[in-house]
């Protein structure tokens, strides 16, 4: 175990200070906001109960290039340990994998897998992803360095950490290791079990988009459908109001002059809207705003739920006056900007490019440059709205998003498409072929269409939770959680009990 920085609160406190970013990253900032909110409540509770309840921070020295034994360069990878409930050396180990952002102590303190640890007497470890948070190798984020950033490198880190921590913590060779992760990290959890079944006994993959896709138009198809769902506060009228609001935005953009200038001020666009590329930035940000309300619906720390968004878009109906969807969208933008601590909803394309070209690690730990690189070289995931049935603006096109890969990294569209195909070929897409994997999704979450939502056999289970949003099953429990979410979490617990019973009958004795 190597020594490392001790100021782990830094990324949590400073993330909101970086407001200049690509509009497409608004969803990532919403996720950071939710994570920070939930983590702060966890830390407050831990501090109230005493320092003994706080998790332990550690650092592993990992090879920068695990696929080249002659390359001796290394970096420090951060991890967290919660051993409060670990009853014996041969007890289960829950390995919570970090994804495309900073991983804090809350990852091993609240929400699953931490909530499952007391009953199952498990050791909980959180492993931050290379090149994110504080686990950034020396040399920064240059292209020469970023070639060591990929899901395959991350899986090599998982293997190395699993072996090193087994020795360091004196974990028994018969202890079953279970990987957990949400979103991209959920995919990593499933892939870790797929590629290294002799080291990792099982995996719980929440909201895991295991199928890479270049044009992710189905994202907005789910957003559109979720806006009509009465179960979460939507309605057909809400969807129609959203469509009307976007139509008015486009009409005002076309009008130019004073009308366009007023639109800029009203919607929080910091850049002049005279350039087409800046108009695209604004429309992408507005779509991300609505998408974010759906993707993180009902979660603690989210600035807008579907119910609240629809209330704004349809304001006026209850008192008999005519609703003004554009005014509602404007108010929604103000709510989100205030919540994220941003003065603008969108910036100029030039400023977006300038930020993405910065090769020095950012204090925030949000990792926009790193994640763009991974989408350009592995996953795609570019949300579009070019289908005529899409309720939002159809102006932001796929070429506009692909241009970022060319302008920031010099990567061509053909190379991106090839990388997406290779990812699906290597991991198996939505039929990965792994065993002892539970895929958990919510049907409100737009990402569930890229995951596994039906069982692929007796050893690959799937759980689709009605009305649940992105990674909602991983969040700390609240009294307001829906009955379906409660049942979903019970199903996860029961599946783990079954696996751990099986592990006792067939002990794992490999790789340590």
Residue 257 region by backbone torsions, left for phi larger than 0, else alpha for psi between -120 and 50, else beta: left
- Sorted by sequence, the CB contacts under 8 Å of residue 155 that are 6+ apart come out as 188, 191, 192, 195, 196
CA distance 427 to 13: 36
Choose the catalytic residue: 157, 469, 470, 473: 470
Model confidence band, residue 40 (pLDDT cutoffs 50, 70, 90):
confident
**Domain boundary residue among 378, 398, 422?**
422
Q: Out of 183, 226, 244, 364, which one is annotated catalytic? A: 183
Work out the average pLDDT over 383-399: 81
Instruction: Quote the number of domains for the chain.
Output: 2
Q: In the listed set 394, 422, 450, which residue is the last one of a domain according to the structure?
A: 422
Tell me how far apart the alpha carbons of residues 273 and 290 are, in angstroms, rounded to a whole number.
Answer: 21
Which residue has better confidence, 92 or 396?
Answer: 92
CATH number at residue 78: 3.40.50.1820
Are both 174 and 261 inside the same structural domain? no
Residue 183 is among the residues annotated as catalytic for this protein:
yes
pLDDT bucket at 15, cuts 50 / 70 / 90: very low
Q: Residue 504 — pLDDT band, cuts 50, 70, 90?
A: confident
Q: Residue 481's CB: how many other CB atoms inside 10 A?
A: 17
Give Cβ neighbours of residue 461 (< 8 Å, ≥ 6 apart).
437, 438, 439, 455, 495
Statement to judge: residues 385 and 476 lie in one domain: no
470 tagged catalytic = yes
Q: What is the pLDDT of residue 38?
A: 77
Residue 165 maps to a domain = yes
Query: 1, 50 in Cβ contact below 8 A?
Result: no
pLDDT band at residue 5 using 50, 70 and 90 as cut-offs: very low
Shared domain check, 225 and 182: no
Tokens for 260, please give them. 């366009």
Global confidence as pTM: 0.92
Does 157 share its domain with 254?
A: no
Contacts of 9 (CB under 8 A, 6+ apart): none
Evaluate the omega torsion of the peptide bond into residue 327 and state whether it is cis, within 30 degrees of 0. Answer: no
Q: Is the same domain home to 411 and 439?
A: no
pLDDT digits (tens, 9 = 90+) for 210-220: 999 999 999 99
pLDDT of residue 166: 96
Active site residue 445: yes
Percentage of the chain exceeding pLDDT 70: 89
Q: Which of 346, 445, 451, 461 is catalytic?
A: 445
Contact call for residues 430 and 452 (beta carbons, < 8 A)? yes
Q: Report CA-CA distances (Å) from 470 to 137, 377, 489.
A: 30, 24, 14
- Res 112: pLDDT: 86
Mean pLDDT lowest among 282-291, 362-371, 418-427: 362-371
From CA 229, how far away is CA 207, in angstroms rounded? Answer: 20
How high is the pLDDT of residue 12?
Answer: 29
Same domain flag for 127 and 101: yes
Tell whether 5 is covered by a domain: no
Residue 37 lies in a domain: no
How big is the CA angle at 493 (ends 491 and 495), to the nearest 5 degrees? 70
Q: How confident is the model at residue 361 (pLDDT cuts 50, 70, 90)?
A: confident
For residue 46, being part of any structural domain is answered with no
Q: What is the pLDDT of residues 317-336, one digit of tens each?
A: 655 567 899 999 999 999 99
Q: Are 305 and 336 in contact (CB under 8 A)?
A: no
Residues 20/474/130/450 CA torsion (nearest 10 deg)? -80
pLDDT band at 466 (very low <50, low <70, confident <90, very high): very high
- Domain extent for 139: 10-14+57-210+429-505
pLDDT digits (tens, 9 = 90+) for 95-148: 999 999 999 999 999 888 999 999 999 999 999 999 999 999 999 999 999 999
374 and 287 inside one domain: yes
Q: In the prediction, which pLDDT does 45 show?
A: 55
Q: What is the 3-state secondary structure (H, E, C) of 211-258?
A: CCEEECCHHHHHHHHHCCCHHHCCCHHHHHHHHHHHHHHHHHHHHCHH
* Single residue among 360, 389, 422 that ends a domain in this structure: 422
Closest Cα to residue 21, out of 439, 262, 371, 399?
371
pLDDT for residue 458 is more than 70: yes
Grade residue 18 by pLDDT with cuts at 50, 70 and 90.
very low
Q: Is the pLDDT of residue 32 over 90?
A: no
């Amino acid at each position: 175990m190597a020594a490392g920085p001790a100021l782990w609160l830094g990324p949590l406190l400073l993330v909101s200070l970086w407001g200049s970013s690509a509009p497409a990253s608004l969803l990532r900032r919403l996720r950071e906001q939710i994570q920070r909110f939930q983590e702060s409540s966890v830390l407050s509770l831990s501090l109230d109960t005493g320092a003994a309840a706080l998790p332990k921070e550690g650092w592993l020295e990992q090879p920068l290039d695990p696929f080249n034994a002659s390359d001796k360069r290394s970096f420090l990878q951060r991890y967290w340990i919660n051993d409060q409930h670990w009853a014996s050396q041969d007890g289960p180990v829950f390995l919570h994998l970090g994804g495309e952002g900073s991983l804090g102590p809350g990852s091993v303190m609240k929400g699953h897998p931490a909530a499952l640890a007391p009953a199952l007497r498990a050791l909980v470890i959180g492993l931050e992803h290379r090149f994110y948070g504080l686990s950034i190798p020396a040399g920064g984020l240059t292209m020469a360095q970023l070639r060591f950033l990929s899901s395959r490198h991350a899986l090599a880190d998982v293997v190395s950490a699993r072996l090193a921590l087994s020795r360091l913590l004196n974990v028994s060779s018969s202890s079953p290791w279970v990987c957990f992760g949400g979103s991209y990290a959920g995919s990593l959890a499933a892939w870790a079990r797929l590629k290294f079944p002799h080291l990792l006994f099982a995996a719980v993959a929440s909201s895991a988009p295991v199928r890479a896709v270049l044009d992710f138009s189905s994202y907005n198809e789910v957003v559109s459908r979720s806006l009509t769902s009465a179960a979460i506060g939507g309605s057909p009228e809400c969807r129609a109001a959203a469509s009307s609001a976007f139509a008015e935005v486009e009409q005002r953009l076309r009008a130019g002059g004073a009308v366009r200038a007023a639109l800029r001020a009203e919607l929080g666009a910091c850049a002049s809207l005279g350039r087409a590329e800046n108009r695209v930035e604004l429309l992408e940000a507005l779509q991300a705003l609505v998408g974010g309300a759906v993707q993180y619906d009902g979660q603690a720390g989210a600035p807008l739920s579907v119910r609240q968004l629809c209330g704004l878009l349809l304001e006026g109906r209850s008192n008999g006056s005519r609703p003004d969807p554009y005014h509602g969208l404007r108010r929604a933008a103000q709510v989100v900007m205030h919540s994220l601590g941003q003065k603008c909803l969108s910036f100029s394309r030039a400023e977006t490019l300038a930020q993405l070209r910065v090769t020095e690690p950012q204090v925030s730990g949000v990792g926009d440059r790193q994640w763009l690189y991974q989408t350009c070289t592995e996953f795609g995931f570019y949300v579009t709205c070019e289908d005529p049935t899409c309720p939002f603006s159809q102006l932001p096109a796929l070429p506009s998003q692909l241009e970022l890969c060319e302008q920031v990294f010099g990567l061509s569209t053909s190379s991106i498409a090839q990388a997406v195909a290779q990812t699906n070929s290597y991991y198996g897409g939505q039929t990965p072929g792994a065993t002892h994997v539970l895929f958990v999704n919510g049907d409100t979450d737009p990402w569930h269409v890229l995951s596994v939502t039906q069982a692929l056999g007796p050893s690959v289970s799937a759980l689709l939770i009605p009305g649940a949003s992105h990674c909602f099953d991983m969040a700390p429990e609240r009294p307001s959680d829906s009955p379906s979410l409660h049942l979903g979490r019970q199903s996860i617990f029961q599946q783990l009990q079954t696996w751990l019973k099986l592990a006792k009958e067939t002990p794992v004795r490999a790789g340590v």
